[in-house]
Amino acid sequence: MQEKDIPAFVQSVVDLGCNICAIGHFGYVFGDVDLPPAQREAIQPQLRWIAEIYGERDYLVAEIIAYLWSIGRYVEIGPQTGANDGSR
């Protein structure tokens, strides 16, 4: 996958009904786990096909995250304190 392919890659995932989004500035998720189990199972072959078509993208994680932020597909996360005080 090349950087120029990121918008089409994201749109391909969205077209399947997945809520692909950046998680802070650390990574991204396809959002397929939010789907009902039957729908999630039904789209797995298409997700594998998308992965095959676009190929390796690990080296583009920062660029994918930036693109997802630019189109409003992100979950902002706050700073981690390392302690769970129950207020989160």
Cβ atoms of 24 and 76 closer than 8 Å: yes
Q: Which residue has the higher pLDDT, 72 or 82?
A: 72
When pLDDT is cut at 50, 70 and 90, the band that residue 80 belongs to is: low
Phi, psi of 54 (to 5 degrees): -85, -20
Cβ atoms of 13 and 20 closer than 8 Å: yes
Give CA–CA dist 72/87, Å, rounded: 27
Give CA–CA dist 67/42, Å, rounded: 27
For the beta carbon of residue 50, count every other beta carbon within 10 angstroms. 18
Predicted TM-score (pTM) of the model is: 0.82
Report whether pLDDT(50) > 60. Answer: yes
